[in-house]
Amino acid sequence: MNSSKPGKIVIISSPSGGGKTSICQRLLDSPTGRREGWLFSVSHTTRPKRPNETEGREYHFVDRDTYHRLASQGYFAEHFSVHGHCYGTPRQPLDQALTEGRTILLDVDYQGALKLKDLYPEAITIFVLPPPPVQQSLRDRLRRRGTESPEELEVRFQNALNEMKQFAKFEYVVINQVLEEAVNQVLSIIERHPDTRHPCRIANLDVEQIRSMIG
């Protein structure tokens, strides 16, 4: 890779069911992502592996003792607890991507995103929202995943409502109504940032319009 080209850290956040994981996967598989060798930051988590997940692809699945040992050693750039489980972003891949002039994507919740932005001020922060009616769309998407019990789903839904209220702390907001369109918007942001920086003005929506959508 061309180390003379500045590397980019791209932080994509959304509530559970908002689509951040799907967007990251599509970006990595896009012609630009493949041509430029974009990377994905694989976090560590203590939550159980779901049937469709593979160790080292979605997450590194570790027990709590291992997680806390890594955290105490400064292994993580940021780490936090959400939905009753622990998550952490390894620091080394981020620093290496910047050194090598590569783009690395992160799929993290808003707490992790804001911590990472403090540590890497040059990082691009993008918040993804489900389409209007936002609350119903979010509930429907969580239910369709079929990965949580009704009780767990309700906890995730309530947490998601609180997470969505943090959107204005991000540089960009994308409405994920049609996945391919959302992917193209994020791709445009990454390629053109910071020339097109226009916080919370994606898809002709301003801050108050977005707040009204969330309810």
In tens digits, the chain (215 residues) has pLDDT values of: 555 678 999 999 998 778 899 999 999 999 999 999 999 999 999 999 988 899 999 999 999 999 999 999 999 999 998 878 999 999 999 999 999 999 999 999 899 999 999 999 999 999 999 888 888 888 887 788 777 788 888 888 888 888 888 998 999 999 998 999 999 999 999 988 876 555 545 545 677 888 888 87
**Domains of the chain by range and CATH?**
8-41+103-214 (3.40.50.300)
In angstroms, the Cα distances linking 30 to 61, 78, 144, 171, 181 are 27, 28, 26, 23, 13
Could you give the maximum distance between any two Cα atoms of the chain, in Å? 51
